[in-house]
Amino acid sequence: MLYDDMSKLMLLLCFALLHTAVITAKTHDKTNGPNCQNFSQGVTFNESEAIGTWHLLHFITEKEKGSGDPHCVEFIPVDEQERNKLQDRIGKYVENLNWDTISLKMEIPCKSLNSNKTRDYYLERLENNGSYRTLQMPPASAKLDLAEFHRYPMRLKIIEGQYLGMIDCHEKFVFLLGKQPPEGKKLDEKVKKMIETYWPEE
């Protein structure tokens, strides 16, 4: 299916920065892990808890294999003014989007990394259970009438009151994020348990 191939491609483009961190870390059997249904089962997601900078925790397992680049994501609230500006700019190129539900923006990586390659995604809220669909902004230099605005479903939830879980619904790839970057090789027992839950050993 074209759609299927496209969404695979999108996925690769979309979370590329985070993905490079984890894909090399572990090839896991995704059929045992959570999917978008059971990931957000019974979840009520309060967006304001997601605002701010989050660091990839799972990455710690890769660190043990020698690579220690930090990876982070920043969630920024989107107000009405920004929403309107966005709609004015790209509204005619994007179909089936309820602009009123765009309330979060996700930047990868976070500003503190001073990367010159940031990816910006507006998040369209589908439900209050943490269901979102991304709207990836094309590069500023892209010609808008040709640009593609990659959109695909993802889910967010707060785990154990202090971690942020993010799942990509297509690849069922789970990212575990914390407020602090992972430190050295010390794996918090809680984090270890979470990793076992979300990244079951095959």
Ligand X SMILES: *[C@@H]1O[C@H](CO)[C@@H](O)[C@H](O)[C@H]1NC(C)=O
Residues that bind ligand X (CB under 6 A): 31-32, 34-35, 37-38, 40-41, 46, 48-49, 116, 126-127, 129, 131
Closest approach, Cβ 168 to ligand X, in A, equals 15
Backbone angles phi, psi at 8, to 5 degrees: -65, -45
Cβ closer to ligand X: 87 or 129? 129
Closest approach, Cβ 23 to ligand X, in A, equals 20
Closest approach, Cβ 85 to ligand X, in A, equals 25
Cβ closer to ligand X: 37 or 141? 37
Closest approach, Cβ 131 to ligand X, in A, equals 4
β partners of residue 75: 52, 106
Cβ closer to ligand X: 61 or 115? 115
